[in-house]
Every structure is written in C-alpha cells, then in structure tokens.
Amino acid sequence: MIKGKKGAAGGQGEKRSRILRQALLPGAAFLLAGGILAGWGGAEMSGKEDKAVEPDLVLCYGEVNSEAHIMTKAAKYFAEEVERLSEGKIAVEIYPSGQMGDDARCYRAMQMGALDLYRGNSASLAECGNPMVSALALPYIFRDREHFWKVCDSPLGQEILDDIQVTARGMKGIAYLDEGARNFFTREKPVTRVEDMKGLNIRMQLSGLMEDTVAALGARAVPIAYVELYTALQSGSVDGAENPPVSYYYNKFYEVAPYYVKDGHTYAPGVILISEITWNTLTEEERQVILEAARRTQAYNREEIDRADNKAYEALERAGVQILEPEDKDAWGKAMEPVYQKYGAPFLDLIEEIRQMR
C-alpha cells in the first residue's frame, strides 16, 4: 500500500495515505493480513538504507520469482529508476519469491488497492476479463524473440497494453517484460514428440488457456501453486511442468525434473502492472516518473534476457540436464487448433496482424 511520509503531521503524504486506506475494502486488508500471517518475508528497498531524502511515497511491488531471477532484477532496476527520477521522493519495496501470493491473489489485491505494483503474465491475465494481451499467450503465436519484441515495441503493442486498463478492471499495464519462451520439463522420461505428452500430469499456471494448451497435447493440467511446485515434482504428485529456462534454473526444478524440451509452446510476455486505485492517487509528475521508469525497465530487460537465457542453459548443461529439441515441430503447432478455436475467436484480426508483422 501507499504509505505517507514518516512524521508528516497532517502533511500531503498523510492525507493521501488516509484517502487510500478509506478506499480499501475490508477484503483487501484481509488479503494482506493473511499473507503476513502465512509468513511473508521482508521487502527489499531500492537504493541505500540511509537516504538523504525521506520518501513521500512508498509503493509495494510483488514478484513470484526468487532474488536472482531476471524478473526480480528487472523489478530492482525499476525501483532504482523510480527513486532516481523522483529524486528520492518515491521508493519501491520489492517482495520477491511469491511473498504476496500467486497471480490470482495479487490481481485481486491490486483491484482492491492492497498492492501497488505486480509483474503479471499475459496468460493469467486472460482470467481477468480476457483482455487483448491474452492473445499474446496463445501457443506458438510468436516465431522467435525478434518477433516478440517487434510486436511489443509497436503501436499495436501499446494498444494491447492500454487495453488492460479498459478490460482487466482495476489494473493498468505500463511495460512489457520478456521472461523467455516457456518449455516443458519432466521428472522420469524425456519428451520430444507430442505422443510423449499423453497421460502426463503437468503443473500449469492457473489459466484456462494454459490448461487447455496442455490438454491439447494429451496431458492433464494440474493446478498447483508455484511455490509448491518443487515439492510436487519431488514427491511425484506431478510428472512435469513448464517454465522459461531462467525460471527453471533459478528455482532449481532441474534437480527433480532433469529433462527439458525446447518446444517454446508459449512466449507470453510479462507485464508490469500498477493498481488503478494507486494510479488515481498519483500526481501527474509522479505518474510520469512511474511511466518513464517502466519504459527504461523494458529496455533494460530486452538487453539482459538473452544473456540470462544463455547463462541458464550453460549452467543447466553443467548440471547434467538433458536439453532436448522437439521432433516434428509442426505437429506440436497443429495440436493447438482446438485452443485457437476456443480462445482465438475474439482476436482473429489481431492474431493475423501479429503473425504478419515482420
């Protein structure tokens, strides 16, 4: 939540803090309290502990991945840019490792004003009113990373980002982030053909789109919280899951699921989101700081993701992981026809425009 400046008796920071607290529903406070009681850890502040300027505003930013992950590094970069551009007047507290909960919980918290910022995902955002950005999570819609960024950096990409505020209710998209292509990994046997997926229990994001994607390959989607995935793989509750290489490596899933197939079924962009309730409390100057910091973070992420992917693959090879290429890539794409029929219908023109972009 936004917090006013310490010791500001009746000042602007206190006034804005009081307005926000009045705007929160009881359920929002309950969401935060529930997380704290469940053992949420502390936040990481941007910049040095001893600040020359006490911030007028402190914003909370949630991230499901660990400290070393490229998405958390992007969050830290964003926080540093916000502090620098605001000359210390705005600070951002980062809560990594799923301390604020999963996507669904954080979206609800943002809609109620209990969380200021979160790095969401276009696949899980499909559950929030099916905004245009959910089309970017359709399987095999992007040819490669170059195509991904061609779309995200275009006027069409900005239109899709702006649509989140219109369609997803209570959240505003301010930047795209590249987490990498999502690939399947398994515990007991390698998977290289569509037929190899048949009958496997695969942990997927809590998203109808992602569940139907794995079902189209003959597997069964199992909805397990991300923070519980390592244990589920270790115990055999699931046969596998899917993640970009950086997430697979930094969350150490390779220790319990050492077969990784580069099928690239989804290249769903991450999205830095800000709560609309928070956004509406900001001055125009503060909004420009947030937007410029987000723009710079997107550029930083674009430069860093290739390096992060390569570093992860090198480390995985050293760890003895079997990194596999799919056989008959066309067969994987053809299996997705039912998914496109179900989820692509509202976005046929958009899908065609994305595919034609060079």
Q: Does residue 14 sit in helix, strand or coil?
A: helix
Position 7 pLDDT exceeds 80: no
Unique residue bearing structure tokens 């559950």: 127
292 close to 81: Cβ distance less than 8 angstroms: yes
Each residue's pLDDT tens digit, 309-323:
999 999 999 999 999
| Joined tokens for residue 220 | 């069964």
Mean pLDDT for the stretch of residues 115-143: 93
Domains of the chain: 12-178+269-308 (3.40.190.170), 182-267+311-356 (3.40.190.170)
pTM of the entire predicted model: 0.84
DSSP state letter for 194:
G
The answer to whether the CB of 259 falls within 8 A of the CB of 185 is: yes
Taking only the tens place, the pLDDT of each residue in 194-212 is 999 999 999 998 788 999 9
- Give residue 207's pLDDT: 83
pLDDT(242) > 60: yes
- pLDDT tens, residue by residue, 16-33: 443 343 344 444 444 454
Tokens 């020359």, located at residue: 52
**Residue 37 pLDDT:** 37
Q: Please report the pLDDT score of residue 45 as a whole number.
A: 59
Beta carbons of 221 and 210 less than 8 angstroms apart = yes
Q: Is 333 helix (H, G, I), strand (E, B) or coil?
A: helix
pLDDT at 130: 82
For the cut 50, the answer to whether the pLDDT of residue 10 exceeds it is no
- Taking only the tens place, the pLDDT of each residue in 157-208 is 999 999 999 999 899 999 999 999 999 999 999 999 999 999 999 999 878 8
- Structure tokens given for 36: 């704290």
The pLDDT assigned to 169 comes to: 87
Task: Tell me which residue of 88, 66, 90, 36 sits closest to 282, measured CA to CA.
Answer: 90
pLDDT at site 42:
60
For residue range 46-71, list pLDDT tens digits in order. 544 555 679 999 999 999 999 989 99
Nearest in space to 335 (alpha carbons), one of 246, 216, 245: 216
| pLDDT tens, residue by residue, 72-128 | 999 999 999 999 999 999 999 999 999 999 999 999 999 999 999 999 999 899 889
pLDDT score of 129: 87
Task: Please answer whether residues 264 and 332 qualify as being in contact, where contact means their C-beta atoms are separated by less than 8 angstroms.
Answer: no
Tokens encoding 76:
């830290």
Quote the mean pLDDT of the chain: 88
In this structure, which long-range contacts are made by residues 64-67, counting pairs with CB atoms below 8 Å and at least 24 apart in sequence? 64/96, 64/97, 64/98, 64/102, 64/103, 64/119, 64/226, 64/227, 65/96, 65/97, 65/98, 65/247, 65/250, 65/251, 66/96, 66/97, 66/250, 66/251, 67/96, 67/97
Is pLDDT at 1 greater than 60 in this prediction? no
